[in-house]
Amino acid sequence: MVKAYLRYEFSAAFGVITSAANPAYDPSGKLLFTSSLESISVWNAKQGALVRQMSPVVASTSTGVAGAAGGGSGAVAEVTVLAVAPQGGSLAAGYSDGTVRIWDYTSGDCTVTLKGHKSGVSCLRYNGGGALLASGGRDTDVIVWDVVGETGLYRLRGHKDQVTDVAFIPRQPKLASCSKDGLVKVWDLDTQHCCQTLGGHKAEVWSLDVSPGGTRLATGATDQEIRVFAIRDPDAVPEEPEDGAPAPTATTTTPATPPTTAAAEGRDHAVLVPMGSARRGAASHERVALLRYSGDGEWLAVQGAGRGLELFRVRDEAEARRKLKRRRKRRKEKATKKEKKDKEGKGAESDDEEEGAGAEGDDDEAIKASDELEAVQLVSSKAKVRAFAFAPPAAKLPAGVACRLALSLANNAVEIVDVAADTASYASASRLELGGHRSDVRALALAPDDSALLTASSSALKHWNPRTGACLASMESGYGLSVLFAPGNRHAVVGTKEGNLEVFDLGAAERVHVEEAAHGGAVWSLAPLPNKTGFISGAADKTIKLWQWSVVAAEGGSGARKLRLSHARTIAMADDVLCVRLSPDGKLLAVALLDSTVKVYFADTFKFFLSLYGHKLPVLCMDISSDSQMLLTGSSDKNIKVWGLDFGDCHKSLFAHGDAVMSVGWVPGTHYAFSAGRDRLLKYWDLDRFELLLELPGHHAELWCLGVSQFGDFVVTGSHDRSIRRWERTAEPFFVEEERERRLESLFEADVEATGADRDAAAAGGVSGEIGADGMAAPAGRRTLETVTAADAIIEALDVAADEMDRLRAADKERAEAEKAGKPMPKPMPMNALLQGLAPSAYVLKVVGGVRSAELEQAVMMLPFADALRLLTYLPKWLETGGPAVELTVRLAVLLVRLHHSQLTATAAARPVMLALQRKLRAAAQGLKDVVGFNMAALQHLSRRVKEREGVADGDAVLPAKRQLLGAA
């Protein structure tokens, strides 16, 4: 009989405030978004409270992991970048597997999933209207997505290394991108090609941004310079200068006019015109990690790769001109002094200096980047800054605050910084840090009744509710390597790396006692005595010690009593002690040593009983089953071994993980066990049959510890990624053979997707590094398992419809022959259940319409020509139905003709189909166009009525922000 088991599934993750992606504000400034590994955390920016977490809901996979609503799935890749739509309501997130998801953060639902990149998404940016989304990836490609149509428009190839940042240029169909190949490219979105490439950067370009006014583009690289480019507006007409006024130049408020030099005249087609560079300050020895303008365009923040963030003030036009005049004046004074020295015969300047002065003098009439940017403040943090975000202009800032910054720190915290209006100081307004550890979770312990959870890190001990994930208390501690609940669950003991034992009062959330130098080395393990009178500690000083609980009166005569530790006995060992465990019956003590052996002693007399050897590397973790019969050990040699404690024989040795096994634990009352390794996997075993039951991926870094509840209904794990995850036992049964088949299928599916991505790249023109500097466009999507499934569904629908049409034709022929011969009419044809009661054409339309818009193009690309021709024959019928089918039909017609143009022209059978499609397609598309035009005219009429009611003229309401910036030029 086949044995069934109950499945463990991922339930929740907590303890991560911010991870790799950048923070982002919503347009109102009330919400702050941070990445929490695969989840997105939504915070109330004012209160610092967690509003919700958004994670993709993934069905059960071959690994046995399933996502719960709102809880997410551990199998989902990590969030790498965030971007908020300009109008709000939507949030785009890029993931490390190349997926882009668009979220409705008001409801917490994922509305669109876009797959196009072959590797992680490194940058995302919406255009001004929020209808287009550009993504850049580590695969060197830039993809432009249609957010409304939920599909990819095209892929832009040309960079030779990872794309680090992208930005749309306002009021122009242009997109700027930068890469680690040291180039900045400007793409024309109408012609889908690279229209300008800027070199000049000495190494990788890490970030760029366009000013809100759309007149400046700033870039940051690995050097000490912030380069600024003026953005040419092709529709702008240069204004005539007033009498005595200098000619208009490229400033922050006017479109850049081309220089009058002959070299510049040949670059009139250029979109970006160099304006020079501004030198960074104290943090210039670090590369630029992120560069952003504030929402009002008054500030430019440049984040280095360390703890500093430099803040520049963007001068307005009047200030920039005054700075230009002062620079001219200084230039004239230097020239006068130089001439005076030459006349007096005191020597001339060197040739190099003269050449440098002349080069600078050529641009002396134009405003430079140093005239516009003024370094005002260096914002530093106690930890490394990963990314930052400006609070939007709509955010309500306190009086005297010029701007607000949200800093995402590498120690799992978010700091909100307010910069004073006088720019002479800044202050930390708030911090989000209590809900997580500053470093990795090294040890954890579940209370005996599963009501509480303790986790220890390098500087803190945290008290959690394991059911809800709420942090109940946070206490400062030493570098915790082991943790233990005292009887009653009101106190805890932490063994530290320094060799101390620290006692904590969990109710008061404070450290009440420190046993200094309890050991001469790191305390690697603590094991409670079954009779609850004390515990045993094992450390790197080659000793194990027995400690008894003691209660002493508090000082001051208040009558209060406090918990203390009383040392009872010390046993010297032959090597460093890595783990100690006591059997539940209290008879045996197992000690794992650095020499890769496990010694078993009698717990009452500490006399030697057994020596277990077989591991090739040190044993890092152990656990004894609840019946005290079996010992489970995990080692650095990636194996787990099951030992019998009656004779010390090794029942089985299993290759368990791809890296060292860091923690093991039995499920109480059973011979099932869990193991956690540095390969980021949690595994579930049946150690009576020595079979692997489940692999539970989810963590994004090494697992250090695990804890199993007393009833085995959930497991808690702690990791180097600072997250704490809970895995719950469900009522869903599974079988070992089915799980093994699912794991093999998952490997096959991953291979199919990888092969499809390589084929798509080859079909699009090969590797981007082989493409010229001008770049090229390619299809945006990539072949995935979903697209293959969609193509199969379309082919199957075409086959079923063809069979049904043959059956109907045969029935019509039989009916016609019977009528001609005067015979009784045959019985009506029974309904075909495969077509769901629909006509063949309607059934094919339903199947094709059910394909997601983002996957339709790739699915159609995979259709053979014969099936594509069959699909074309249905398009004229769909155009007759009207409604939503017209838009789908037009899109399919364009796709099929573009993909199979040469074969269609050479196939005689396709001619009548194309002629029938030609007669109906233009009229149907024109009908849709008329509807859209009518709606747009109605909206414009309503807009004019609103303006008339408010007393606002059209000229004043078109671009008020631009008019305000232009001023009286």
The answer to whether residue 808 scores a pLDDT higher than 90 is no
* Domain annotation covers residue 887: yes
Percent of the chain with pLDDT over 90: 55
CA-closest candidate to residue 20, choices 374, 288, 410: 410
* Domain annotation covers residue 878: yes
The answer to whether residue 251 scores a pLDDT higher than 50 is no
pLDDT attached to residue 60? 37
pLDDT attached to residue 336? 80
The answer to whether residue 79 scores a pLDDT higher than 90 is yes
* Domain annotation covers residue 127: no
**Rounded Cα distance, 464 and 434, in Å:** 11
**Rounded Cα distance, 852 and 412, in Å:** 37
**Rounded Cα distance, 252 and 433, in Å:** 39
**What are 314's two structure tokens?**
């963007």
In the predicted model, what is the mean pLDDT of residues 467-492? 94
Residues 6+ apart with CB under 8 A from 105: 26, 31, 33, 40, 42, 54, 89, 90, 91
**What are 678's two structure tokens?**
């540095």
Strand residues in 381-533 grouped as ranges (E): 385-390, 401-409, 413-420, 426-432, 443-446, 453-456, 460-464, 471-476, 480-485, 491-496, 501-505, 510-515, 523-528
Average pLDDT, the chain: 85
Could you tell me the residue range of the domain that residue 809 belongs to?
A: 785-947
Helical spans, DSSP H, in 722-776? 736-763
- DSSP secondary structure string, 787-815? HHHHHHHHHHHHHHHHHHHHHHHHHHHHH
**Rounded Cα distance, 925 and 891, in Å:** 10
Name the band, by pLDDT with cuts 50, 70 and 90, for residue 743: confident
The answer to whether residue 248 scores a pLDDT higher than 60 is no
- DSSP secondary structure string, 647-703? T--EEEEEE--SS-EEEEEEPTTSSEEEEEETTSEEEEEETTTTEEEEEEE--SS-E
Least confident of 527-536, 773-782, 892-901, 944-953: 773-782
pLDDT attached to residue 775? 61
Residues 6+ apart with CB under 8 A from 710: 446, 448, 449, 450, 668
Q: pLDDT, tens digit, for every residue of 401-446? A: 999 999 999 999 999 999 998 877 899 999 999 889 999 999 999 9
| Beta strand pairing call for 523-528 and 703-708 | unpaired
Q: Report the C-alpha dihedral over residues 418, 210, 97, 146, rounded to 10 degrees.
A: 120
CA-closest candidate to residue 775, choices 93, 62, 142: 142
Q: pLDDT, tens digit, for every residue of 810-826? A: 888 888 888 888 788 77
**Rounded Cα distance, 218 and 297, in Å:** 12
SS3 category, 423: coil
Is 897 in contact with 890 (CB distance < 8 Å)? no
The answer to whether residue 57 scores a pLDDT higher than 70 is no
The answer to whether residue 610 scores a pLDDT higher than 80 is yes
- Residue 379's H or E segment, with its range, is strand 373-380
CA-closest candidate to residue 251, choices 406, 397, 91, 366: 366
pLDDT attached to residue 263? 42
In the predicted model, what is the mean pLDDT of residues 912-928? 86
Give φ, ψ of 76 to 5 degrees. -85, 145
**Rounded Cα distance, 392 and 395, in Å:** 6
Q: pLDDT, tens digit, for every residue of 274-323? A: 998 998 876 568 899 999 999 999 999 999 988 889 999 998 888 888 88
**Rounded Cα distance, 304 and 291, in Å:** 9
Residues 6+ apart with CB under 8 A from 42: 31, 32, 33, 50, 51, 52, 53, 54, 105, 108
The answer to whether residue 70 scores a pLDDT higher than 50 is no
Is 618 in contact with 578 (CB distance < 8 Å)? yes
Is 188 in contact with 168 (CB distance < 8 Å)? no
* Domain annotation covers residue 794: yes
Least confident of 116-130, 303-317, 745-759: 745-759
* Domain annotation covers residue 286: no
Domain count, the chain: 1
The answer to whether residue 714 scores a pLDDT higher than 60 is yes
Q: Which residues pair with 528 in a beta bridge?
A: 535
**Rounded Cα distance, 547 and 209, in Å:** 61
- DSSP secondary structure string, 184-202? EEEEETTTTEEEEEE---S
CA-closest candidate to residue 619, choices 671, 576, 585: 576
pLDDT attached to residue 530? 92
The answer to whether residue 88 scores a pLDDT higher than 90 is no
Q: Let me know how many helices (H) and strands (E) the chain has, helices first.
A: 14, 57
**Rounded Cα distance, 611 and 591, in Å:** 10
* Domain annotation covers residue 113: no
Give φ, ψ of 672 to 5 degrees. -90, 150
Is 893 in contact with 934 (CB distance < 8 Å)? no
Name the band, by pLDDT with cuts 50, 70 and 90, for residue 562: confident
Cα radius of gyration (the chain):
35
Q: What share of the chain is helix, strand, coil (3-state, %, to 5)?
A: 25, 40, 40
Query: Which sign, positive or negative, has the C-alpha torsion 27, 29, 30, 34?
Result: positive
Residues 6+ apart with CB under 8 A from 927: 882, 886
| Beta strand pairing call for 650-655 and 639-644 | antiparallel
* Domain annotation covers residue 872: yes
Give φ, ψ of 445 to 5 degrees. -150, 135
Is 52 in contact with 103 (CB distance < 8 Å)? no
Name the band, by pLDDT with cuts 50, 70 and 90, for residue 58: very low
* Domain annotation covers residue 472: no
Q: pLDDT, tens digit, for every residue of 538-560? A: 999 999 999 999 988 877 656 67
C-alpha distance from residue 375 to each of 26, 277, 279, 282, 303 (Å): 27, 13, 9, 10, 13
Least confident of 201-205, 314-318, 729-733, 955-959: 955-959
The answer to whether residue 74 scores a pLDDT higher than 60 is no
pLDDT attached to residue 298? 92
pLDDT attached to residue 554? 73
**Which residue would you say has higher pLDDT here, 482 or 323?**
482
pLDDT attached to residue 953? 59
CA-closest candidate to residue 569, choices 551, 589, 595: 589
Is 690 in contact with 681 (CB distance < 8 Å)? no
The answer to whether residue 117 scores a pLDDT higher than 60 is yes
Percent of the chain with pLDDT over 70: 86
SS3 category, 876: helix
In the predicted model, what is the mean pLDDT of residues 20-36? 94
Residues 6+ apart with CB under 8 A from 538: 523, 524, 525, 526, 527, 544, 577, 578, 579, 580, 591
